[in-house]
């Protein structure tokens, strides 16, 4: 019996994503000036107001107000009618020193400075379990419904920022949702429903507004998304798709004025759209000593390389930790019955443990996580993104500028494929 599966995405102007982007901009600035910084920073945004709170251990000082305003400006909240505007919003900082009780389990001093000593000394920043997932459904090994939901909003954003004359009424806040029909053997058959809600300028009449927005989404945005896909996925689009475009009607009031935003409230959008599993810990605002973030990236790295190596068509990877302890409590692998080798998932997990060092320090080093690479993760998902090297410029509180070259989305690299193939005789 065919079944339906749905995933959603939100734009960079969604209030929760505004909060995530501010928190991750602070992370990047702390790491740019002091790579050893330990940071857990939460952001709240509402009408005309930003509240920053969290714990920091660092040797640098940041102008957090300036950084926050730059993020808000870049997102596009630059007009007073939005009731949340980069130059005028109030910013309250309640950031303070990190707990010494927590830090003692993460920042142990070692006499021997070699890799093994450091890897055994640095314990996990917290207990918990983290999940990674990969599937052959798309070229980036991501679930199709989420990938399409992201693409729709990225195209809306690109039009708003680069071709404003094409759809001139767009405002920063938006959401999308895609429902796909699957066959019994888990193969996508068709797109059943697409939902798009976009904030917009005021129109003279609601009827004209709804007709114009629906026409532009279906005739401009959707074809551009379709063109990005390989032919077999393009065939999933047909004239039977049900579209709900701004289904509640008017959406002029949006962003932090329409809803309060908080860091870490879009963790399913950030990961796999409800496919696989999630350990519950948010990513944004956390330095890589927090395994909520680093181990989630590491398990995605494991999962993607397993599928790319041909070991399985789909896989869920779980790792778990005790606070202050370097060695994981366990590694779990579920290939969903798609493994291409005559081994149990438990036996596969034991072999994978030998190929990927999952101690927190080892993850930081392997994936280059002590670099300022996090602002780019804070909208449109942390997984399935393009691995690339970029140059970024940071300005210190004293006006000093620093340019750094960093590698983004290192956990998306297929650099362990041959190791996995050799280990499993593929």
Convert the pLDDT of each residue in 56-115 to its tens digit: 999 999 999 999 999 999 999 999 999 999 999 999 999 988 655 455 556 656 666 788
pLDDT given for residue 110 in this prediction: 64
* 304 known member of a binding site: no
Q: Hey, which CATH number is domain 128-136+290-424, 3.40.50.1820, 1.10.490.10, 3.40.309.10, 3.30.300.10?
A: 3.30.300.10
In angstroms and rounded to an integer, the radius of gyration of the C-alpha atoms of the chain is 22
* 16 known member of a binding site: yes
Question: What's the whole-number mean pLDDT along residues 266-292?
Answer: 96
Percent of the chain with pLDDT over 70: 96
Alpha carbon dihedral 243, 248, 250, 252, in 10-degree steps, equals: -100
Give SS3 for 6. strand
Domain boundary assignment for the chain: 3-8+143-254, 128-136+290-424
* 184 known member of a binding site: no
* 55 known member of a binding site: yes
* 174 known member of a binding site: yes
Can 3-8+143-254 and 128-136+290-424 be said to share one CATH topology?
yes
7 bridge partner residues: 178
Segment 317-349, tens digit of pLDDT:
999 999 999 999 999 999 999 999 999 999 999
Contact 16, 265 (CB under 8 A): yes
What's the start-to-end Cα distance of the chain, in Å?
33
Q: DSSP letters of 126-194?
A: S-EEEEEEEETTSTTS--HHHHHHHHHHHHHHHHHHH-TTTSTTEEEEEEEEEEEEE-TTS-EEEEEEE
* 199 known member of a binding site: no
Residue 350: pLDDT above 70?
yes
Q: Which residues are CB-neighbours of 346 under 8 A, at least 6 positions away?
A: 333
Contact 378, 21 (CB under 8 A): yes
* 74 known member of a binding site: no
CATH 3.30.2350.10: does it fit domain 3-8+143-254? no
* 397 known member of a binding site: no
* 301 known member of a binding site: no
Question: Within a 10 A sphere around the Cβ of 250, how many other Cβ atoms?
Answer: 12
Contact 39, 286 (CB under 8 A): yes
* 265 known member of a binding site: yes
Residue 128: pLDDT above 70?
yes
Q: Distance between CA atoms of 345 and 398, rounded to whole angstroms?
A: 54
Tokens of 23: 């928190």
* Beta strands at 242-245 and 188-200: parallel, antiparallel or unpaired: parallel
* 282 known member of a binding site: yes
* 313 known member of a binding site: no
pLDDT given for residue 206 in this prediction: 87
Q: Distance between CA atoms of 196 and 268, rounded to whole angstroms?
A: 18
pLDDT given for residue 104 in this prediction: 52
* 286 known member of a binding site: yes
Question: Within a 10 A sphere around the Cβ of 414, how many other Cβ atoms?
Answer: 15
pLDDT given for residue 97 in this prediction: 80
* 224 known member of a binding site: no
């Amino acid at each position: 019996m065919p079944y339906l599966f749905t995933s959603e995405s939100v734009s960079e102007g969604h209030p929760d994503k505004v909060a995530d982007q501010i928190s991750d901009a602070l992370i990047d600035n702390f790491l740019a000036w002091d790579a050893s910084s330990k940071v857990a920073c939460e952001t709240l945004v509402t009408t005309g107001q930003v509240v920053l709170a969290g714990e920091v251990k660092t040797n640098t000082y940041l102008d957090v107000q300036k950084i926050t305003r730059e993020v808000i400006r870049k997102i596009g909240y630059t007009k007073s009618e939005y009731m949340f505007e980069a130059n005028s919003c109030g910013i309250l900082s309640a950031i303070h020193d990190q707990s010494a009780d927590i830090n003692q389990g993460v920042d142990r001093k070692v006499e021997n400075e070699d890799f093994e000593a450091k890897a055994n000394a640095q314990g996990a920043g917290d207990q918990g379990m983290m999940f990674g997932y990969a599937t052959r459904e798309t070229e980036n090994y991501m679930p199709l419904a989420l990938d399409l939901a992201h693409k729709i909003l990225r195209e809306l954003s690109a039009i708003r920022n680069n071709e404003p004359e094409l759809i001139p009424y767009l405002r920063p806040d938006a959401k999308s949702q895609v429902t796909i029909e699957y066959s019994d053997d888990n193969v996508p058959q068709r797109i059943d429903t697409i939902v798009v809600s976009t904030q917009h300028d005021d129109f003279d009449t609601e009827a004209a507004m709804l007709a114009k927005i629906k026409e532009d989404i279906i005739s401009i945005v959707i074809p551009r998304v379709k063109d990005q896909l390989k032919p077999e996925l393009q065939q999933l689009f047909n004239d039977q798709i049900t579209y709900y475009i701004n289904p509640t009607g008017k959406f002029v009031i949006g962003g932090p004025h329409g809803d309060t935003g908080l860091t870490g409230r879009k963790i399913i959008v950030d990961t796999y759209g409800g496919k696989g599993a999630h350990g519950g810990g948010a990513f944004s605002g956390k330095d890589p000593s927090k395994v909520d973030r680093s181990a989630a990236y590491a398990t995605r790295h494991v999962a993607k390389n397993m599928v790319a190596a041909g070991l399985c068509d789909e896989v869920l990877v779980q790792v778990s930790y005790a606070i202050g302890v370097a060695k994981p409590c366990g590694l779990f692998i579920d290939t969903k019955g798609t493994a291409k080798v005559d081994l149990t998932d438990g036996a596969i997990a034991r072999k994978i443990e030998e190929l990927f060092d999952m101690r927190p320090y080892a993850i930081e080093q392997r994936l280059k996580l002590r670099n300022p690479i996090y602002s780019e993760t804070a909208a449109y998902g942390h997984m399935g993104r393009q691995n690339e090297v970029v140059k970024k410029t940071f300005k210190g509180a004293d006006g000093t500028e620093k340019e750094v070259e960093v590698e983004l989305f290192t956990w998306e690299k297929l650099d362990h494929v041959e190791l996995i193939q050799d280990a499993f005789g593929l």
